[in-house]
């Protein structure tokens, strides 16, 4: 067996690597652009620090993480004898990035007035994040043993729909002349199965979007000229000087937030691995988490405040026939652009609307694959999992709209606008029920609990359902869901509610055990299928 594995030839380049590289790169690249604009525009941080220390550290961390992804994929290819294995995509963790930026770094800057301290707190928070993820790495097998794969896939579909499809569509339609032609040309190649002999579908689509953007004035020469000011050569160095007792003391005040997003990102890794498993490609969650911990710790010590993680979208790149090397190619691009200051130039040439189509495509493929691999009797559970993460997207947009209204009022001269507090009652009077907030807080955790419970109900595993609600009670008690942050007795209403639900299902489990063998309360080895209305059996005459 070992000799056969050694003889396997694993290609370094495959036909789909270009498309996958472009898609994964632009998934994280837009986050770097947002981060740079905030660090320079809001924190007033000097460009030599932003590009010379922070951006180059981000590129270095991304390179390390993506190098690990390629090496691990090639290891698994040799181990399983599968030379056509597709590596897991990854890069800057999306949700965690925006939380670190807007909920940690920016508030610390406004409270201390020191951008360097704010940067240091972000790095310290990232180190705490890695420490807690390391703990999760050794507990993950226990979690996977008891969490139904349908729960992981159901929550995954909802997250993909919210953050990859809807969020990208909303952002891209700011320039409809760019995103609509780009998106549908990409669909012609991928969904219409129109083959190009020499050109990549992603390259053709994004090139078309870029040309349209320049012709219609979405992109301009002035922005391109200004971007050349950042060109240089930057080498990542350890940034131990920004780590001290003060920054760790401040970072510890954000510990509940850090723990909550460690849980969310561990869930994302589990879902990413589950996606690959549906293509018969087996990655170990623990190994992935350990690799992330190592690369994130190294990146943080070099000054990167933003954790890396694996992405959803493996089915899309598998379908595109990508191999093991596209993460490495993506990492090299990250490192080159971040180490030379070319980040700004690239973004001054290529419009965001043209790059978002790759995220939309990845999200669509993720959802489609999930319904293909899940038995149809579990569709009701998956539908619930699809809906719940949408509340987090909607609630976040509502909060952003309120902040924008306050800023507009301040600009118009209403001095008291900054002290304006919009309560849940105000939202309810405007037609936004308070339940939106409850479902938005820890939405991925809520989705996992609810989908797991419904899966167990479908299989009539009443004891498992009760245990699931007990887990939900614990998550609510400690603030992992239905609460803005981790704390003791964070959501007492939901904690008590889930305890009551658990007791109900424990009673049901006891009743089922005492019931007759043919009772409908008892679990069945195989569930009866719901009859299809449109399908009729032929009755023999």
- Tens of pLDDT, residue by residue over 436-489, are 999 988 887 898 899 999 999 999 999 999 999 999 999 999 888 898 877 899
Tell whether 367 and 407 lie within a shared domain. no
Tell whether 479 and 334 lie within a shared domain. no
Positive or negative CA dihedral for 70, 74, 77, 83? Answer: positive
Residue 62 pLDDT greater than 70, yes or no: yes
Q: How many CB atoms lie within 10 A of CB 27?
A: 25
Residues in the chain: 541
Tell whether 166 and 205 lie within a shared domain. yes
pLDDT of amino acid 538: 36
Nearest to 123 by CA among 234, 268, 258: 258
Structure confidence by residue, pLDDT tens digits, 63-111: 999 999 999 999 999 988 888 899 999 988 876 787 788 778 887 887 7
The answer to the question of residue 325 being in a domain is yes
Residue 36 pLDDT greater than 70, yes or no: yes
Tell whether 375 and 436 lie within a shared domain. no
The answer to the question of residue 536 being in a domain is no
296 Cβ neighbours under 8 A, 6+ residues apart: 61, 65, 126, 129, 130, 133, 307, 308
CA distance 288 to 69: 8
Tell whether 394 and 375 lie within a shared domain. no
CA distance 541 to 539: 6
Burial of 485 (0-12, 13-18, 19+ CB in 10 A): middle
The answer to the question of residue 525 being in a domain is no
Q: How many CB atoms lie within 10 A of CB 501?
A: 18
Torsions phi, psi of 47, nearest 5?
A: -65, -30
Structure confidence by residue, pLDDT tens digits, 119-147: 999 999 999 999 989 988 888 777 667 77
Mapped onto helix, strand or coil, the DSSP state of residue 302 is coil
The answer to the question of residue 214 being in a domain is yes
Tell whether 468 and 329 lie within a shared domain. no
Q: How many CB atoms lie within 10 A of CB 3?
A: 6
Q: How confident is the model at residue 41 (pLDDT cuts 50, 70, 90)?
A: confident
The answer to the question of residue 516 being in a domain is no
Tell whether 274 and 132 lie within a shared domain. yes
The answer to the question of residue 524 being in a domain is no
Rg (CA), the chain: 25
pLDDT of amino acid 529: 42
Tell whether 221 and 247 lie within a shared domain. yes
The answer to the question of residue 346 being in a domain is yes
Q: Find out whether 307 and 96 touch, Cβ atoms under 8 Å.
A: yes
Measured at the CA of 400, the angle between CA 399 and CA 406, to 5 degrees, comes to 95
Tell whether 240 and 191 lie within a shared domain. yes
Tell whether 335 and 229 lie within a shared domain. yes
Q: How many domains does the chain have?
A: 2
Per the structure, the complete domain to which residue 393 belongs is given by 387-411+429-511
* Best mean pLDDT range from 55-59, 248-252, 395-399: 55-59
Tell whether 375 and 325 lie within a shared domain. yes
The verdict on pTM exceeding 0.75 is: no
Tell whether 369 and 504 lie within a shared domain. no
The answer to the question of residue 204 being in a domain is yes
| Mean pLDDT rounded to a whole number for the chain | 84
């Amino acid at each position: 067996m070992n000799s056969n594995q050694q003889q396997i030839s694993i290609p370094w380049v495959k036909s789909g690597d270009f498309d996958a590289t472009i898609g994964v790169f632009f998934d994280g690249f837009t986050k770097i652009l947002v981060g740079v604009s905030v660090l320079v525009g809001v924190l007033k941080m000097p460009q030599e620090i932003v590009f010379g220390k922070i951006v180059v550290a981000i590129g270095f961390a991304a390179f390390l993480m993506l190098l690990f992804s390629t090496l691990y994929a090639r290891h698994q290819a040799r181990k399983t004898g599968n030379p056509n294995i597709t590596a897991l995509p990854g890069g800057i963790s999306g949700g965690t990035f925006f939380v670190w930026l807007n909920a940690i770094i920016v508030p610390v800057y406004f409270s201390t007035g020191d951008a360097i301290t704010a940067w240091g707190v972000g790095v310290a928070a990232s180190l705490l994040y890695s420490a807690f993820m390391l703990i999760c790495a050794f507990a993950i097998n226990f979690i996977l043993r008891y969490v139904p794969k349908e729960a992981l896939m159901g929550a995954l579909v909802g997250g993909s729909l919210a953050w990859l499809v809807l969020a990208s569509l909303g952002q891209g339609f700011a320039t409809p002349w760019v995103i609509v032609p780009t998106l549908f040309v990409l669909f012609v190649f991928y969904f219409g199965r129109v083959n190009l002999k020499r050109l990549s579908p992603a390259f053709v689509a994004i090139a078309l979007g870029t040309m349209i953007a320049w012709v219609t004035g979405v992109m301009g020469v002035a922005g391109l000229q200004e971007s050349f000011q950042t060109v240089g050569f930057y080498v990542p160095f350890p940034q131990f000087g920004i780590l001290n007792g003060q920054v760790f003391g401040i970072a510890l005040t954000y510990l509940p937030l850090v723990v909550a997003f460690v849980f969310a990102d561990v869930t994302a890794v589990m879902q990413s691995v589950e996606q690959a498993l549906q293509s018969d490609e087996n990655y170990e969650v623990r190994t992935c988490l350990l690799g992330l911990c190592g690369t994130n710790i190294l990146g943080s010590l070099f000054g990167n405040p933003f954790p890396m993680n694996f992405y959803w979208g493996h089915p899309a790149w598998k379908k595109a026939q990508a191999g093991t090397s596209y993460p490495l190619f993506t990492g090299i691009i990250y490192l080159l652009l971040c180490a030379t200051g070319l980040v700004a130039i690239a973004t001054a040439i290529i419009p965001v609307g043209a790059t978002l189509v790759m995220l939309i495509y990845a999200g669509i493929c993720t959802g489609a694959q999930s319904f293909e691999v899940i038995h149809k009797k579990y569709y009701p559970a998956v539908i619930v999992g699809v809906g719940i993460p949408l509340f987090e997207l909607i609630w976040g947009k509502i909060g952003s709209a309120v902040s924008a209204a306050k800023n507009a009022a301040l600009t118009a001269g209403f001095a008291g606008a900054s002290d304006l507090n919009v309560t849940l009652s105000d939202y309810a009077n405007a037609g936004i029920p308070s339940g939106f907030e409850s479902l938005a807080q820890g939405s991925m955790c809520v989705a996992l609990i609810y989908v797991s419970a419904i899966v167990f109900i479908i299989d009539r595993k009443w004891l498992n359902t009760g245990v699931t609600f007990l887990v939900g009670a614990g998550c609510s008690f400690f603030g992992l869901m239905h609460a803005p942050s981790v704390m003791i007795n964070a959501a007492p209403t939901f904690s008590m509610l889930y305890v009551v639900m658990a007791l109900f299902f424990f009673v049901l489990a006891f009743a089922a055990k005492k019931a007759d063998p043919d009772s409908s309360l008892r679990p069945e080895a195989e569930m009866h299928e719901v009859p299809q209305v449109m399908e009729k059996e032929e009755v023999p005459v």
